[in-house]
Chains A and B, each alone.
Chain A
Amino acid sequence: MLTSKCLKGVMTGYPLAINATNIKVTEVDFNPEFITRVIPKLDWEVLWTAANSIGHGEGLPKILEPKYEDNEELLKKVHRVLLEVEIEEGNLTCPESGRQFPISKGIPNMLLTEAEVQ
C-alpha cells in the first residue's frame, strides 16, 4: 500500500521491498465480508511477493482466480497475511534509491530527513 514516491527523483517507488527481522502472528476474528471487499483494493502480485518474501506466502496462488469470494480457504489465507502477520521489526526498502524505512514495534517510519525534503 505504501510507496517511496515522496523521495526526490523516485518516479514510482513501488513496491517497497520488505526485510523482516522479527515477525509476530496474532490471531484475530475472521471476517470474510471484509476480506472479499478488500481484495479488489489490493495489488495481488505485490501482496504475493511480499508474503513470500517474509515466508508467509504458503498457499497463496500467484494469480488470483475470479470468484475468489466463494473460496473460503483462500479468504482465510488472505486474512492471515493481511491482519494476523505483523512485522514487528524490519525495513521497507525503496526499489529505486535503496533508501530504507525502518519498522519498529510494528510501526513503519516513513519520515524523510530534512535534507531529503529540500
Chain B
Amino acid sequence: MLNDDKMWRRYLMWFAHEHVDFRHAEINSILSIFNIPIKYIEQPSVQKPYWIVELPTEDSVKKIASRSVLVKCCIELWSRANTESQLHTNLKNSLQNKTGKWVVGDDNSNCTSDKYFCPKELIESCCTAKNSFKIEVETFCKHFTLKEKVEKIEGFSYLPLDGPVKLKNPDVTLSYLEFYGVDPNNVPGKPYDVFFGKWVADGQRELIQTHSLKKRQFIGNTSMDAQLSIIMANQAQVRPGDLVLDPFVGSGSLLVPAAHFGAHVWGSDIDFMMLHSRTRPTRVGQKVRTKDESIRGNMKQYGIESQYLDVVVSDFSMPMWRPGLKFDAIITDPPYGVREPTERIGIERENYTLTEDHLVNHIPAKVEYGLPHLYSDLLNFAATHLQIGRRLVCWYPLVREEYNEDQLPRHPCFELVSNSEQVLSKLTARRLLTYQKVHDDVPPVPIEPIARAYNFREKYFSVGEESRRERKERKAEELATNPLWRAAKNLDSVT
C-alpha cells in the first residue's frame, strides 16, 4: 500500500498559456496561503504550459486549483514520455512495478530520461470494477477530430479498467495530454511530450466567464479584466474574513474577486461621478447609465453583496482613515494619467475662497498628482494601515526600454515579493508589484527618494518613433505628392 504520509505524489499542473510572467507569482502566493510545500521534478520553463511537481497530498492539489486562475487542470501523473509508444511502454512497466515508488527504467539514469515507471498501486486503485471511468484527450497547439481522439483512447485498452464507461460525472477521469510546442506557426508532426494520469481538479478558468466584464452590470473605462483581477486577489493572498481596501476603486473591478474569495471589501475614489455612476456609459451604443449600475449592483449580480462594506468619495492624498485601522490587503490600480487622470484636490490660484451658495454640490478643482508622489503616498499609507505580514498589490506603468528594477518604488517596511510584466504596447508595459509588509513603525518616507523625472503620460504619447500628428501630416504629404491621387482629384473636379 502507498503511504500518503511519507510518499508525495507526482502531479502535472497544466496551465493556460497566457500571462506566463504571472505564473510563479500566482502559484507561490497560493502555496503560501495554504502553507503547501512543493518539489519541482522538472525545472519550470516559460516555453512549456505545464509544471511537473510533487505535492504532499491530493487535498493540497485541490486547494491550489480552488484558487488559481492560470491553472487549467491538475493531473496525478502516471506517465510522461517523449513519444506515444514510450508512454505505453512506461505504463505497461508500471503495472509490474511493485516497489511502491517511481522507478527509472534506464541503467544510465539521467535527468532527460523519459523512462520513469510509477508504482502500480496508483493505477490499480482506480481500476476496481465499481469505479466508472472515462478517458479524455487534450492536445496543446494541435487539433484532432473526435475520431482521431477515440483512436488514441483505444490505445489504452491494455489498462485493467474493469469498471463501466461513463461520460458524465464518472468516478475516475483519466487524462491523456499531448504537447506540440508553443509556436502555432511551426507545429511538429509528433508531440514533444505526452502525459497520462488521473484528473484531480480544474483551476478557476470558468470564473473568467462568470466575472466577465462583458456581462458585468457596472463597468468603467479602466475596469480590470476578470482574469487579472483574480490574479491580483491571489497575489494579495485574500482569505475569507479579510478586510480589503482599494483606494482607487473606480468601478470596483478589483473588489469583485476579493469579495468572491470571502474578503469584506472597501473602496475609495476621488471621482464622485464614477462612484455615483453618473459618468458617460462605457459600453458602445449605451446612452445613459441605468439605475442598477453601481459597485453594490455588481456585488449583487455575483451574489456576494454580503461582502460589500462601502465606498467613500475621498482624495487619496489626504489622510482620512482612523489611526490604528489595519487592512488585511490593499489591492489597487492607480490612475496612470492616460485614460484616467492622476489628480488630487487643489488649485493653482492663491487665497482661493468659495462663497456659501457655491458650496452645495461643489465639485472641487483638481491639480496634477504626480505618479512618484502618488506611489510614495501609497507605500506610506500601506506602511501605516496594512497588517504586518500582509500584502499590497498594485500596477506600475512604465516605458519598456527604460525599465530598471531599481526605479521601482521602495519602502523600508516592504519587501517586493513579485514583479510581473504585462505588455501594453510595443513601447509601454505595466508591472504588477506585490509588496509584503515586513516591518512596522517606520516613519513616513519622504517623496524625494522615489521621485524621479517621471511622467508616464508624456512618455506614453511621445516615445513612439513619431507622434500621431506627425504621422497624419506625413500621410497627408505623401498623398499630396502622389501623382495618381492628384490625377484622381483632378478628374473629380472635372466631372
Contacts and interface: CB of A to CB of B under 8 A. Distances in A.
> Do A and B come from the same complex?
yes
A112 interface: yes
Interface in A59-118: 82-83, 86, 104-115, 117-118
Interface string B446-467: 0000000000000000000000
Contacts of A115: 347, 352-354
A28 B264 contact: no
B443 interface: no
Contacts of A41: 243, 325-326
Nearest to A84: B306
Question: Which of A30, A82, A83 has the most B CB atoms < 10 Å from its CB?
Answer: A83
A24 B160 CA distance: 64
A118 B313 contact: no
Contacts of A118: 346-347, 350-352
B408 interface: no
Interface string B231-266: 000000000110100000000000000000000100
A105 B297 CA distance: 13
B276 A104 contact: yes
Contact of A113 (B270, B309, B351, B354): B354
Contacts of A23: none
A114 B346 contact: yes
A109 B313 contact: yes
B315 interface: yes
B388 to A, nearest CB: 14
A21 to B, nearest CB: 15
B30 to A, nearest CB: 20
B240 A33 contact: yes
A105 B276 contact: yes
Contact of B320 (A2, A104, A106): A2
Contact of B306 (A5, A6, A28, A105): A28
A14 B241 CA distance: 26
Contacts of A31: 241, 306
B323 to A, nearest CB: 8
Secondary structure at the B interface, as helix, strand, loop or mixed, is loop
Given A37-B241, A107-B312, A112 B364 contact: yes
A25 interface: no
Nearest to A87: B310
Secondary structure at the A interface, as helix, strand, loop or mixed, is loop
Contact of B309 (A4, A83, A105): A83
B351 to A, nearest CB: 7
A98 to B, nearest CB: 13
B275 interface: yes
Interface residues of A, number: 35
A114 B365 contact: yes
Contact of A111 (B296, B325, B364): B364
A111 B306 contact: no
Given A110-B320, A114-B354, A115-B352, A2 B312 contact: yes
A29 B306 contact: yes
Contact of A110 (B243, B264, B312): B312
Contacts of B272: 109, 111
Contact of A108 (B240, B309, B312): B312
A5 B347 contact: no
Given A1-B325, A6-B319, A107-B275, A114 B345 contact: yes
A28 B264 CA distance: 12
A113 B364 contact: yes
Given A113-B354, A113-B364, A3 B346 contact: no
B146 interface: no
Contacts of B243: 37-38, 41
Given A104-B276, A107-B312, A1 B350 contact: no
A34 B352 CA distance: 46
A112 B306 contact: no
Nearest to A14: B322
Nearest to B277: A105
B18 to A, nearest CB: 33
Contacts of A106: 296, 310
A43 interface: yes
A14 B319 CA distance: 13
Contacts of A114: 345-347, 352, 354, 364-365
Given A107-B313, A113-B362, A2 B322 contact: yes
Given A105-B276, A113-B354, A117-B346, 14 more contacts: A1-B321, A2-B320, A3-B319, A3-B323, A5-B319, A33-B241, A106-B296, A107-B312, A108-B313, A109-B314, A110-B318, A114-B354, A117-B345, A118-B346
Per CB-CB distance, the 9 closest pairs between chain A and chain B, nearest first, are A28-B306, A6-B318, A114-B347, A110-B314, A29-B306, A109-B313, A34-B241, A37-B241, A33-B241
26 contacts: A2-B321, A3-B319, A4-B320, A28-B305, A34-B240, A34-B264, A38-B264, A82-B309, A83-B306, A86-B310, A104-B276, A106-B310, A107-B275, A107-B276, A107-B313, A108-B313, A110-B268, A110-B312, A110-B313, A110-B318, A111-B363, A113-B359, A115-B352, A118-B347, A118-B350, A118-B351
Interface of A: 1-6, 14, 26, 28-31, 33-34, 37-38, 41, 43, 82-83, 86, 104-115, 117-118
Interface of B: 240-241, 243, 264, 268, 270, 272, 275-276, 296, 305-306, 309-315, 318-323, 325-326, 345-347, 350-354, 359, 362-365
